[in-house]
Structure 1
Amino acid sequence: MNSPQNASSKPKLVPNLSLKERNTFGFEASTELAYEITSAEQIPVLMREVLHQKLSWRVLGGGSNVILPKLLPGVTLLMNITGQEIISSDDSSVLLAAGGGVNWHEFVTWTLDQNLPGLENLALIPGTVGAAPIQNIGAYGVEIGEYIESVEAFDAINQTFTAFTKEQCQFAYRDSHFKRNSNRFIVTRVIFRIPKQWMARIHYADFLKEFSGDSSPSPEEIFLAVCKIRTHKLPDPKVIGNAGSFFQNPIVPAEQFETLIHKFPELVSYPNAAGKRKLAAGWLIDQCGFKGQRMGNVGVYENQALVLVNYGNGTAQDILGLAKCIQDKVDDLFGVKLDIEPNIL
């Protein structure tokens, strides 16, 4: 796909923009130069100038998966490309497209309104459509990479727009080609393929409790259950600053799992590919005594040990200091290393 030749309008420049309302941790942060991107056509000319001046740059969507410093130097691209539509339909599936700046939860709601179930397990995940493939977001047994047909992005190195197939995205657990090549690609549009044959995916324990043995809930019922469960476990960022799950669930070899389960019979885990096991990071953290604990202006959420929170006036340095304490304790007790999920800018 070739780069658009003419910009429909110049992106709006906002110098010294406060980002406190654009990061869910609620950290006091600002950017030296911010540009509001409302169409893909605005990007090529802007990026040529940014690279010509050798300015640092990054893309910021909903700010739900980032840890911001007090000042972001250089250029910050505010991803505000909106719009969603049904592209085509055949006997087996429907193709949907959404702009990189579309709110993710609102997009999931829209798909159900269109009678296109499949994404309901991913309801209430904060952030934007453009960030979804980068992180390969997932919840309750579903990863978004399963439903992506292609991703359209601007390549800052080659200065062209490219459409990546599902295979080229190289999706893995909370990972992708885009994440492994940070500060190269600007995701502008995502194409989803939603199968017409739908099946409920409710094998997680939270669902079994919620549906009390009902093996055939509707997509809407699953959507509401996910919203209820997440609302209970995760604090509202508008009330308590947080970025959702702070650590990835670690994946360990079968041999290590057998050693751990012998020593800790109540260890919470899930099957993973090639005989490996995915451990529940929240359970590991809880066993180390961090759940509900506070360290100055930051702490560990009382209802979910996987969530670190900013009680007010906390900084990136504060949250990373707490994270380091948790990582060290989990490693000492279980011999398991926890990786931080949010991006540190």
Structure 2
Amino acid sequence: MGGYTLIENASLLKRNTLRVDARAKLLAEVRDASKLPELLDFPAIRTSRLLVLGEGSNILFTGNLDGTVLAMETRGVLVEQEGDLTRIAVAAGERWDDFVRWTLGQGFAGLENLILIPGTVGAAPIQNIGAYGTEVAEFIESVEAWDRIERRVVTLDRSACAFGYRDSLFKHEPDRFIVTAVRFALPRQHVLRMDYTGIREELERMGVSHPAPFHVAEAVVHLRTRKLPDPAVIGNAGSFFKNPIVDAAVGEALKHERPELVAWAGKDGRWKLSAAWLIETAGFKGMREGDVGISNRHALVLVNHGKASGEELWAFAQRVIEGVHARFGVKLEPEPVVIGTS
């Protein structure tokens, strides 16, 4: 069919980085965003659950999906120059890491700290992906999406996207918008973010005294590859747990009790706690039961050592959440979307 392909009883094993062997009743691979209205009018799709899936790097299936998985596989990058600022419209199906490397090669700044994050460009605003002191929302000018309620293409500016920590409008209305493109505003010159733990030390190790964006990107690549297991080698979804945000009183009490607590004071007076520190201190780093465990390289990473089911992975994650809460009184939340739980 022109612009899309439909596959019945489709395996999702290679479409999620946790390597869960789940299946979807129907898989729709979309190569032309203009065909979405036609595709979504199919009775089998219109009357069942619809899940938009990128590279599956931010999802945990705890069972099969009795509905349709829609995979945006559109491609394209459009550049518009305006003074020192460049606007870049990118199709949702482009790979995020490929796009970041392209921007660096073109001499743009801003996204260097977000290199090596798996997933697609269309998924980036949904999660408001972030790493090493940078969030993608800072450089998004607008998001183009198909509005399933109004049945039209809409353009949502940054404020309308309601970005927050690992959060956005798209998370709060998951059944409404299908992201088709993202417009970025990138400068040629940008103050480099090098204060996040390890970046300056890595630059020194590299012998770089006057860093450019591509140097920071290289430092982040070194840090990520040392800390985070490669999904191509062992099933994982990167950081599985969010850093919890607590009121100042809670943070201060914990810091008083545990001076070694890793935490950061936010601009709003609240504290962001290191979920990795909480998990490791609670004794879960490197723990394994069967094919499920927490990486011995990074306490935030839930791993599938072999053929663990989604149910087994989620049960182990719940055990970590409960263990941290019992130890510190702080409730962790998962970063990935968990499909199949109430």
Q: 1:65 aligns with which of 39, 58, 67?
A: 58
Kept after mapping to 1: 8 A contact 2:6/2:27: yes
Equivalent in the alignment of 1:289: 283
**Which shows bigger deviation, 42-51 or 150-159?**
42-51
Provide the TM-score with structure 1 as the length reference.
0.94
For residues 221 and 50 of structure 1, what CA distance do their matches in structure 2 show?
51
Change in 2 beyond 3 A, CA 1:10/1:198? closer
Aligned residue for 1:94?
86
> How far apart in 2 are the matches of 1:43 and 1:233?
39
Residue in structure 1 matched with residue 137 of structure 2 by the alignment: 145
Matching residue of 1:232: 226
What is the root-mean-square deviation of aligned Cα atoms in Å?
1.5
Q: What number of residue pairs does the alignment pair up?
A: 337
Conserved in 2, the CA contact under 8 Å of 1:200 and 1:216?
A: no
Aligned pairs for 1:151-230 (under 5 A) are: 151-212=143-204, 216-230=210-224
> Structure 1 residues 11 and 168, CA, compared in 2 at 3 Å: closer, same or farther?
same
Which of 20, 25, 32 aligns to 1:32? It is 25
Q: Percent identity?
A: 45
User: In the alignment, what sits opposite 1:327?
Assistant: 321
Q: 1:267 to 1:50 in 2, by over 3 A?
A: farther
Please state how far the C-alpha of 1:50 moved relative to its aligned partner. Answer: 4.5
| Residue type of the alignment partner of 2:144 | E
Letter in 2 for 1:286: E
Task: Confirm whether residue 114 of structure 1 aligns to residue 113 of structure 2.
Answer: no
Q: Which amino acid aligns with 1:336?
A: V
Contact 1:23/1:63 (8 A) holds in 2? yes
1:5 matched residue in structure 2: none
How far is 1:52 from its partner?
7.6
**Separation in structure 1 between the aligned mates of residue 85 and residue 269 of structure 2, nearest angstrom:** 32
Q: Verify the 8 A CA contact 1:130 1:188 in the aligned structure 2.
A: yes
* Aligned with residue 20 of structure 1, among 13, 28, 44: 13
Distance 1:303 1:177 in 2: 33
Say if 1:50 and 1:173 are closer, same or farther in 2 by CA, change over 3 A.
farther
Q: Secondary structure, in 3 states, of the residue corresponding to 2:159?
A: helix
Q: Which stretches of structure 1, 4 residues or longer, exceed 4 Å deviation after superposition? A: 50-53
Aligned-partner residue type, residue 272 of structure 2: K
State the alpha-carbon separation in 2 of the partners of residues 52 and 123 from structure 1.
35
1:136 counterpart residue number: 128
Does structure 1 retain, via aligned residues, the 8 Å contact 2:45–2:67? no
Q: Distance in 2 between matches of 1:15 and 1:105?
A: 30
Gap regions ≥5 residues in structure 1: 1-7
Q: Does 1:11 align with 2:4?
A: yes
Identify the residue that residue 34 of structure 2 maps to in structure 1: 41
1:197-218 CA-to-partner distances (Å, cap 9, x unmatched) read 3121100121132123966411
Give the C-alpha shift of residue 237 in structure 1: 0.6
Are the equivalent residues in 2 in contact too, given 1:121–1:139 (CA < 8 A)?
yes
Query: Structure 2: any 5+ residue segments left out of the alignment?
Result: none
SS of the residue 1:169 aligns to: coil
CA contact (8 A) 2:248 2:271 kept: yes
| Cα deviations by residue, 1:137-156 (Å, 9 ceiling, x for unpaired) | 00011000000010000111
